[in-house]
Structures are given as structure tokens and as C-alpha cells.
Structure 1
Amino acid sequence: MRGEAEMRLTSCVLLCVLLSLSQAVRPGQDVRCGACRALVDEMEFAISQIDPKKMIQTGSFRINPDGSQSIREVPLARSEGNLLELMESVCERMADYGEHTDSSTNRKSYLRIKSRNGESMDLSQAALDSRITSSLKFACETIVEQHEDELIEFFSHEMENVKDKLCSKRTDLCDHALKIPHDEL
């Protein structure tokens, strides 16, 4: 009897440990996914604030043997130099986000809690906590560091559904992104 009880207890403890580990993985995935989606939103907004008529010359300034140069003009907003500059500060804006937990799925998402234009916002659904913003900022910085080339590739061209294409399909940071409405972070 005693051996059977010990075995049941061991099985129960093992099951509890496995359940806690599986629950511990989900919040990390949610934070990385939320950080990626917030990063995309912030980058798209920052790019939209730059005059689309401003151009910058890129390419080689060397003179080719035929006397020509390999210079081309690209919009400043989507130039590699500008994108790199934006990526240096984009994670600082994670302080503008709060956490929302869906009561039916228990999945976390991240909402902007500070308005860009000074309008008041409904914060009743958002949890405001320094741990949330610091984990979002850390996740954002990790994404920028690990996926810099992909970010430049995606933002150097105008495309639709960057959140899904970058955060889910390219980087696998969001395993559930196709179920999230496009405007939700």
C-alpha cells in the first residue's frame, strides 16, 4: 500500500510540475508576441510621421569605369539608416503599454495606455505595472537584437499585415497570431 501511495504522490507532483512549466512557457510567448506586435505598431507609426517626399541617396558613391555612379534615391522614412535609428529607441516606447488578459482564454495582450495625440484613453481593461513594461521592453530589445535584418527587410518596403508576416510567419514569436484581430497587440 505504501509503495502505491508514494507512486501516486510522485505522479501527482510530476504532473503538477509539468503543468506549471507549460503555464510558465505561455506568458513568455505572450510577452514576446506582444512585444513584437507593439514594436511593429510603433515602427509603422514612426515611419508614418516622416514626410514621404523626403528622399535620401543610397548606394555607392564610387565612379564606375563607364563614368556613372550606382546611386539611387529612396524615401528617407524607409531607408536603412533611418530604420536603424528608429530601432534604437523603439523599445523605450514599451512603457506606453499595459497588459490585458482575456477572461475567456486567459491569453495576455498588450494595449497602448498613452495616447499619441493627447486624447484620454479607456484604461479600465489594462493592468499597469512596471514589471509588465520592463518585461515588454526586454522582449522588444531581444527581438530587435536577434531579428534586425528581418525588421529592416520588412520595414524598408511598404507591406500589409506586417504584424502577422513578421511576428508569426517569419520569426515564430506568435504561434497564435492568425487568431488575433489585426488591430490588437
Structure 2
Amino acid sequence: MMAPWIGLVLVAMAVFSKRAEGKRDEVLYCSACMAIADELHYSISQIDPKKTVSVGGFRLNPDGSLTEKTVPLARSETHLSELLDGVCNNMSDYALYEEPDTKEQSYRRFAPRSGDSSNFPDFKNFKFDGPEGSNSLKFACETIVEELEDDIISLFSREEEHVSQKLCSEVSDHCKSSVFKHGEL
């Protein structure tokens, strides 16, 4: 027979875990979600669109021939899953940015990507808080990927429009405020 206090402890743990989940930093989690979408878009754009991969089972048609389905490699579930495995390692290229006019904050990419010499950000608006900031962003990224991996793969494999907005505002609800809904989504 279970001691009555064990049930009370389990109820208390459930309540506190819901409260902790509800207190997620919106700037941090919204920025992490947006960064995931941005990094995946960039990685997909780097793949030759002519490359394809066979997916699904090989079905035997009534006439005895095999049906083979191919999809672009960049949008295949296998490739997207591989990209998701490493996407959070890129969070060290992001830092807290404060909009000079509105003082609104978000994490943004400050490090240019290889071969990209056109976009050098204005570093005076970034707040570099050492490894703690990028570690927090990386943890938020890993949490989102763990919770929403199937949704992320599904959205990117269908080549949906406005994936960032769908993922970060509609699916995950991490970007709730009007600032994020009307900002850079």
C-alpha cells in the first residue's frame, strides 16, 4: 500500500513542473525557435535542389513493377532529422540584441556565415554576456527540438510558407506577444 504522503508529493511535483514550464522566458524561447527556423532554412538552401533520395516502401504494382518515390534530399525526413541533430550547436553564433529605438530584445545571429560578407551587424546593439547567454539559448534550442522534432520536420518537409511563424507562433506558442507576431517572423 502506498503511503498517503507519496501521492501528495506526486501532486506537488506535477503542479510545480507546470509552473516552471509556464515561466519560460519568452524572449529566449521565441529567439531560439526563430533561430532554429533560420538555421534550417539556410542549411536547406545550401543543398543542391537536383539531389533526390528514395523514400517510403517499395510497393509492388498490380502489373509487377515497383513504385519508387523520390523527394528532394534537402526536404527528406532523414536529412531534416540530421540537420536537427546539430542545429543547436549554432546557437553560439547568436547574442542578445537590443533594438536601439524600441529597446525590445531578442537573440540574433551576429556571426556571418561562411562566404557571406554582405551582412555585418552593428555590434554596439549586441549584449555579449559570455558563454551563459549562448548556453541558455542552446538549452532552449535543445528543449524545443526535443519537444517539437516531428512538427519541425513535418513543416520543413512540406515546404510550407512562413514556417517561422507557423512553428514559433502557432505550433509552439513561444512567440506570443504582438512584438514577435508582427516583428521578424
Q: TM-score, normalised by structure 1?
A: 0.77
Matched, 1:47 2:50: no
- Could you report, residue by residue, the CA deviation over 1:108-128 in whole angstroms, capped at 9, with x for unpaired residues? 211111101353442111111
The percentage of aligned residue pairs carrying the same residue is: 44
Residues 107 and 25 of structure 1: is their aligned pair in 2 closer, same or farther, counting only changes over 3 Å?
Answer: farther
Matched, 1:91 2:92: no
Give yes or no for contact 1:98–1:133 (8 Å, CA) kept in 2: yes
Give yes or no for contact 2:27–2:107 (8 Å, CA) kept in 1: no
Give yes or no for contact 2:99–2:125 (8 Å, CA) kept in 1: no
SS at 2:125 equivalent: coil
Matched, 1:128 2:119: no
Give the C-alpha shift of residue 163 in structure 1: 1.1
Give yes or no for contact 2:95–2:126 (8 Å, CA) kept in 1: yes
- Could you report, residue by residue, the CA deviation over 1:134-157 in whole angstroms, capped at 9, with x for unpaired residues? 011000011111001100111002
Q: Tell me, which stretches of 5 or more residues in structure 2 are unaligned?
A: 1-18
Task: From the CA coordinates, give the structure whose radius of gyration is larger.
Answer: 1
Q: Tell me, which stretches of 5 or more residues in structure 1 are unaligned?
A: 1-20
Counterpart of 1:151? 152
Counterpart of 1:12? none
SS at 1:67 equivalent: coil
SS at 2:124 equivalent: coil
Give yes or no for contact 2:49–2:74 (8 Å, CA) kept in 1: yes
The residue identity in structure 2 corresponding to 1:92 is N
Report the RMSD for the aligned CA atoms in angstroms.
Answer: 2.3
Q: TM-score, normalised by structure 2?
A: 0.77
Task: State how many pairs are aligned.
Answer: 159
